[in-house]
Structure 1
Amino acid sequence: MSQYYGLIPAAGTGSRMGVDLPKQYLDIAGHPMIYYAVRTMASSPLLARVYVVLADTDSWWNDYDWSEFGDKLQVLRCGGPTRADSVSNGLAAMPVEAQDWVLVHDAARPCLTMAMIAKLITEVGETEVGGLLAIPVADTLKRAAGQHVSATEPRESLWQAQTPQMFRHAMLQQALHQDNGFVPTDEASAIEALGHAPLLVAADSSNFKVTYPNDLMMARLILERTGT
């Protein structure tokens, strides 16, 4: 039986937040933002272990107490200059089997729930390709030329990718090691470049990515509403 593992790349700086502290360590209700992603994944009985990929120069992680997660949480100080590099390095350092599933999740998505993890695992099932949480695009999309609209894009069949994104360990390693000059912005796009079609698993908008300062307040409100 294949096992399921969590992988949280957290070697970035989050420059769009406009602060010196790496985004994953910004405070939400008394905890660093990454704590909530770690807690949800470590609490899921479906995941055998959760790996966090840090930059080798990270000096913030050890300022916090992570002991509540015990051995289920493992830190890998092998982060790279890009997300793809961090995920690739993390995959190489994980002592797992080729056919095991890896659920890659953003440290900046603190509102993930165990129900979302369970839904992803259930719907992807034993497919050979894998899949990701996503939501259909609801807003009207405008293509810009400078600060002006050049076209309105049809939103039918468009989805907004979220995380976790779940793929088999060996396939994801292969996808991220393609020597074609393509730099994927998420794991699904790397898998797509191999010619595969990942499964879209409907999530909801609460699993959003904290990108700008105002997003912190929204995340805090969602976490308070859900009692987490």
Structure 2
Amino acid sequence: MSDLSFTAVVPAAGIGSRMAADIPKQYLSLGGRTVLEQTLARLLDHPAIGRIIVATAEQDPWFEQLAIARHPRILRVTGGRERADSVLNALAHVETDWVLVHDAARPCLHRLDLDAVLAAGQQPQGAVLACRVRDTMKRGDGEGAISTSVSRDELWHALTPQCFATVPLRQVLSDALAAGCVITDEASAMEWAGFHPRLVEGRADNIKITRPEDLGLAGFFLQQMNESKI
């Protein structure tokens, strides 16, 4: 992997309504910094990431208050209504051949996992960090009861970062949005276009902060990571 060969895109325009907080979850305090600062620090620490493009809400008053916002390798752009819109807006500013997209609210990314997905993503299909489903899976009937059990064989939780060639990802996202496709992550858009991204097994503690209880858990994981220097 050559130095500074990747651009990282971090969509951060969401409001995180399930956190029931007064400010978006990416600006909540975590380990003496904001969640977003913790996430960006993990990416800035990698020598292959030359630039990070953060897509925030147009009227976001918090980002520019962060010291990290003035880092020379960070560019802020305006995000969109949905995650895919934010990513597509950011991709317009990507100049590298390869790009990775990482959730703003995933601050517990391990360096070895980042190394692995960057290495695996440098091929036409791209790559997605993921972890295997461990629990018995149930499909609901829409009325609060179990419809059926689902085999967990070859079921994975999709995580981020997700790494792809820049030009195909930009085109696929644009086409999928124009077609009204429901895009849950970048891999789902690539799948819609016929690609088969590689699954890169990562750590289960790479959690996405979604609910209030996740903040404490992420703090614990970060403390463990800092103590072990990973």
Q: Deviations over 1:8-59 (max 9, x none)?
A: 0000000111112011001112211011110010110011111111112100
- Following TM superposition, by how much is the alpha carbon of 1:136 offset from its aligned partner in structure 2, in angstroms? 0.9
Separation of aligned partners in 1, 2:199 and 2:129: 6
- Map 1:28-43 onto structure 2 (within 5 A): 28-43=30-45
| SS of equivalent residue, structure 1 residue 227 | helix
Matched, 1:112 2:114: no
Consecutive unaligned residues of structure 1, counting only runs of 5 or more, are none
- Return the TM-score normalized by structure 1: 0.93
Q: Which amino acid aligns with 2:115?
A: A
Q: Which residue of structure 1 aligns with residue 89 of structure 2?
A: 89
Runs of 4+ with deviation above 3 angstroms? none
Corresponding residue SS for 1:200: strand
Which amino acid in the other structure matches residue 149 of structure 1?
I
Residues 62-211 of structure 1 correspond to what in structure 2 (within 5 A)? 62-66=64-68, 70-76=71-77, 78-94=78-94, 96-97=95-96, 100-124=97-121, 126-145=122-141, 146-178=143-175, 179-211=178-210
**C-alpha displacement at 1:102, in angstroms?**
0.6
Deviation of the 1:183 alpha carbon: 2.2
Task: Count residues in correspondence.
Answer: 222
CA distance in 2, matches of 1:181, 1:81: 14
Q: What is the CA-CA distance between 1:70 and the residue it aligns to?
A: 2.9
Give the residue type in structure 1 aligned to 2:72. D
Q: What letter corresponds to residue 137 of structure 2 in structure 1?
A: L
1:27 counterpart (10, 13, 29): 29
Partners of 2:47 and 2:55 in 1: CA distance: 21
Gapped regions of structure 2 (runs ≥ 5):
none
**SS state at 1:84 partner:** helix
Residues 59-107 of structure 1: per-residue CA shift (max 9 Å, x gap): 011222116x73112222x10000000000111133x04xx11110001
Which residue number corresponds to residue 17 of structure 2? 15
Task: Give the Å deviation of 1:116.
Answer: 1.4
- In structure 1, C-alpha distance between the alignment counterparts of 2:40 and 2:207, rounded to whole Å: 16
Say whether the 8 Å CA contact 1:88–1:173 is kept in structure 2.
yes
2:152, 2:112 → 1: CA distance?
Answer: 27
Please tell me the root mean square deviation across aligned C-alpha atoms, in Å.
1.6
**Letter paired with 2:202:** A
Q: How does 1:56-67 map to 2 (within 5 A)?
A: 56-66=58-68
